[in-house]
Structure 1
Amino acid sequence: MSELFDEVDEEVRREQLKKLWDKYSLYIIAGMILIVAAVGGWRGYEYLEAKKAAEAGAAFDKAVELSDANKHAEAEAAFADLVAKAPSGYRVLSRLRLAAEIANRDAPAAAKMYDEIAADRSVGAADQELARVRAAQLLLETAGYPNMKERLEAAAAPGATFRHTARELLALSAWRANDAAAARQWLDMIADDGETPPSLRSRAEALQALLPPVAKS
């Protein structure tokens, strides 16, 4: 008798499932198609992005080769094309390299480009700081010490990625402005930082020797 009831229950379940399938089969099939399409679309997107990145990488390397061969006009054009067309990562690198190429013929224009990168919030913090330092390097001979300090003081802070270069630029700018106290401040920071590169430390010591002696109280 129990087997009979089991067979009846099984038949009832089948009938219920059939009704559910008849009622919702179109939605189920549509959902499955959407899932398959979404997965396929994502895979296709990943493939296209990888292809674009590979092409941009090859074009970037070619532009660097042109620059290394002193073909700066061609390199500038190549980097400009990457800025317009490359994926975001290579676009930022190309903006930095394009500014470097332009610096060979127009330092103020290149400094302006670096400033734009430094102010662009879509750019990573490290690249922003690098652009800030590069702009200051180009403006060292023309910008006053207050301007240089405004540009570089944050980049010269302990632990900052480009602090060594920033401190050297600030010391040189202060020295050019005949501000011995400020120059000594930055040179002391260079001397006290155990991670200061040896070559920079030597230059700082040479500049320190040019400063007037500290007045005795």
Structure 2
Amino acid sequence: MSEFFNEVDEEVRREQLKKLWDRYSIYFIALMVLVVAAVGGWRAYQYFEGRKAAEAGAVFEKAVELSEQGKHEDAEKAFTELAAKAPSGYRTLARLRAAAEASSRDPKAGAKMYDDIAADRSIGGEWQDLAKIRAAGLVLDSASYADMQQRLEASAAPKSTFRHSAREMLALSAWRNNDMTAARKWLEAIDGDGETPPGLRSRAEALQALLPPVAKS
């Protein structure tokens, strides 16, 4: 008797499953199609992105070769064109290299290009800071200390990636503009930072020796 009831239960379950399949099979099939399409689309996206990155890398290398051959205008043009159409990583690198090439013929133009990169929040903080440092280096000999301070003070903060370079340029600018108080401030920041590179520390000590003694009160 128990076997009879088991067979009945099994038949009922099969009938229920058949009804569920008849009712929902179209949705299940559609879901599977969507999953397959999504996986295929993702694979295709990865393939095309990889190919674009490889093409951008080849163009970048050719532009670097032009630069190494002294063909700076051609290199600048190549980097600028690459920056307009390359994937995001190469785009930022290409913009920085285009600014460097422009700097070799016109430092002011190069500084302006670096300033534009520094103002672009879409590229990330560290790239922006690097562009600020590069731009400041190009105008160091002509800019006022107030200008350099505006450019670099945030980058000279204790945890900033490029704080060492920023502090050195601020100290040099203050010394060049006869602001000895500010020069000492930045030299002390350099000296007090245990992570200051040895070469930079030596240059800071040399500049410190050029400062007049502090007047006694």
TM range (shorter): over 0.9
Amino acid at match of 1:109: A
Q: Give 2:61's aligned residue.
A: 61
Amino acid at match of 1:139: V
Question: Could you tell which deviates more after superposition, 127-136 or 154-163?
Answer: 154-163
Q: Give 1:204's aligned residue.
A: 204
C-alpha displacement of 1:205: 2.3
Distance 1:193 1:30 in 2: 62
Distance 1:156 1:39 in 2: 46
Q: Give 2:89's aligned residue.
A: 89
Percent identity of equivalent pairs? 71
Amino acid at match of 1:184: R
The normalised TM-score by structure 2 is 0.93
Distance 1:201 1:45 in 2: 49
Q: Give 2:215's aligned residue.
A: 215
Whether 1:25 aligns to 2:25 is yes
C-alpha displacement of 1:203: 2.0
Distance 2:45 2:56 in 1: 16
Structure 1: runs of 5+ lacking an equivalent: none
What is the correspondence of 1:142-161 to structure 2 with a 5 Å cutoff? 142-161=142-161
Structure 2: runs of 5+ lacking an equivalent: none
State the number of aligned residues: 217
Q: Give 1:183's aligned residue.
A: 183
Q: CA RMSD in A?
A: 1.5
Q: Give 1:43's aligned residue.
A: 43
Q: Give 1:124's aligned residue.
A: 124
Distance 2:192 2:8 in 1: 89
* 2:105 aligned counterpart, secondary structure: coil
Distance 1:209 1:12 in 2: 97
Q: Give 1:78's aligned residue.
A: 78
Q: Give 2:108's aligned residue.
A: 108
Point out 4+ residue stretches in structure 1 off by more than 6 angstroms: none
The normalised TM-score by structure 1 is 0.93
Amino acid at match of 1:48: F
Q: Give 1:15's aligned residue.
A: 15
Amino acid at match of 1:209: A
C-alpha displacement of 1:32: 1.0
Amino acid at match of 1:213: P
Distance 2:116 2:186 in 1: 27
Distance 1:197 1:19 in 2: 75
